[in-house]
Chain A
Amino acid sequence: MREVCDLVVVGAGPGGLAAACRAAEAGLDVLVLDAQPEPGGQVWRGEARQGSNRLARRWLTRFSASGARFRPGARVIAAPEPGVLLVEEGPSSFAVRYGRAVLATGARERFLPFPGWTLPGVLGVSGLQVLVKDGLPIRGKRVVLAGTGPLLLAAAATIHSHGGEVLYIAEQASAASHWGFALQLWRQPAKLLQGALMSAKLVSVPTSTDAWVTAAEGERRLEAVRLSVRGREEHLHCDYLGAAYGLVPNLEVARLLSCETSAGAVVVDDRLETRVPKVHAVGELLGIGGVDQALVTGELAGLVAAEQPVPLELERSWHRVRTFAAQLARHDAPRAELLRLATPDTLLCRCEDVPMSALEGCQNLREARLYARLGMGACQGRTCGTAAQTLFGWTGEDVRPPCLPARIGSLRIPSDVSSTPTRES
């Protein structure tokens, strides 16, 4: 089975949707792939069903009218030759032959290991938020959130509005850094409004800067957490803990396509084209910048892909969102204490159960992988690799196909897709 399109967009979050809309409206045949069942990405998760976010509603409506085709539940697993992607979709798979590509694979949370972080009931901050949006019963449940930046407040607001009891919000950043960052939000009217709305609902929730989770406790699941709050310890009984430290871009598909990356972001030119011709990158792949950056860069890339003129206003907007992204990165950088929470028997790799102690003597990621099996399991190091980079400064290895675990049969290239004849023995 195969798909042919002028433009393939990988990821249906705000960046992918904006690119797809612009390109499809200009007449391109656009195919959008996303692993989730609905468009919207993580930030607009659930909005396609029960939209309350007006911006999301506007873009999702525009997307469905744009003529772009959407394939949900579709995961890119390989790029066997330039212009071809292999995609797994439920129990089947297909190939996509494309003219151009826009990568809009978004970001994931940065997890850092601490004692008890493998207990059921311990999730990411946004991880818990999306599960609540997806129907996790939270009414009357006691929740502690620990992390950094605007995501903490966004998660708290979602949990609060679904009837959950947020016991504590622990912001790891120092007071000075946090309030400095908050003041900068005055220059970002849209974000300020979001922040104010969130805060208004959450005035009664104890919140502290210079605060983080030191341990999660429980037998078969989470029962309590220990927090360090400005130097003193808090012990709170709770049902759920959301703990993660900002976002990191999902670079796997970009690196699978051999796009150059630098300092944890995809390198692009002013047309948002990567070093690989006809492959563009948008949104969080350019460095964590949130919805505004995703929309602006998505629109830009969509216009470029369709060879349309780019309005000057859009170019200016891009430079504005870059400033916000840089401030966010400084604010969200995990403080040193967070890097020392894990004990020797705390697992770093959750797939292969590799404890910190197993890394003794390892000098780099390749040694840790080959000697101790770090990152050799099902998630392919997505969770522990990011943690190891933060803890030890170890950088990643090449991304090879499949860039997600996939059925062996899905690695087959349909014969009608290949541009060069296969040699069969």
Chain B
Amino acid sequence: MREPAPKKASVVTLRINGREVTVPVGTSVAAALAMTDSFVSRADLSGRPRGPLCGMGVCFECRATIDGVPEVLMCLTPCREDQTVVTDA
């Protein structure tokens, strides 16, 4: 168990594919994905890697399961404390 985050924290810590990432408040999940060393958001139908493309909720390349909700777009989702992000990459 992690300590509860202090009020008005300037950073949040989330887990992307099991890996802890600490980012400034306001960072989008798609941006945080780049901090995991793998900018891969999904595998295409042949298993090749894909990453975010449009950044604006248009291309659907950056979909992931976020806190149990499937098919959420990472580029439209702000990082939150204790958030769990799972991609199918």
**What is the interface of chain A, defined by CB distance below 8 A to chain B?**
35-37, 42, 46, 49-50, 73, 75, 90-91, 108-109, 111, 118-124, 126-132, 134-137, 220-221, 250, 350-353, 377-379, 382-383, 405
Q: Are A126 and B55 in contact (CB under 8 A)?
A: yes
- Report chain B residues within 8 Å CB of A91: 69
Residues of B within 8 A of A (CB): 23-24, 26-28, 30-32, 34-35, 38-41, 44-46, 48-61, 63, 69, 71, 75-79
Measured in the bound complex, the distance between the Cα atoms of B27 and A221 in whole Å is: 22
> What is the CA–CA distance of A250 and B38 in the complex, to the nearest angstrom?
30
B residues less than 8 Å from A124 (CB atoms): 53-55
Q: Are B46 and A353 in contact (CB under 8 A)?
A: yes
21 of the cross-chain contacts (CB-CB < 8 Å) are: A109-B54, A109-B56, A111-B53, A118-B44, A118-B50, A119-B49, A122-B51, A124-B55, A127-B53, A131-B30, A131-B34, A131-B55, A131-B75, A135-B24, A135-B28, A135-B31, A137-B31, A221-B38, A221-B49, A353-B46, A405-B60
Tell me the complex Cα distance, A37–B56, Å.
11
B46 contact set on A, CB distance < 8 A: 353
Known: A221-B40, A383-B53. A46 touches B26 (CB 8 A): yes
Secondary structure dominating the interface of A: loop
Whether A50 pairs with B26 at a CB distance below 8 angstroms is: yes
Which residue of chain B lies nearest to A218 when distances are taken between CB atoms in the complex?
B49
Closest 7 CB pairs of A and B: A120-B51, A135-B27, A134-B28, A127-B55, A136-B31, A135-B31, A378-B60
Chain A hits for B39, CB < 8 A: 120-121, 221
- What residues of A have a CB within 8 angstroms of the CB of B45 in the complex? 352-353
A residues in contact with B35, CB < 8 Å: 137
**Are A123 and B52 CB-contacts (below 8 A) given A137-B34, A405-B71?**
yes
Which residues of B have CB within 8 Å of A35?
57, 76
Provide the bound-state CA to CA distance between A378 and B88, in Å: 15
Q: Closest residue of chain B to A124, judged by CB?
A: B54
Chain B residue nearest in CB terms to A378:
B60
Partner of A37, one of B40, B58, B78: B78
Instruction: Write the chain A residue with the least CB distance to B69.
Output: A91
Rounded to whole Å, the gap between the CB of B49 and the closest CB of chain A is: 5
Tell me the nearest residue of chain A to B66, going by C-beta: A90
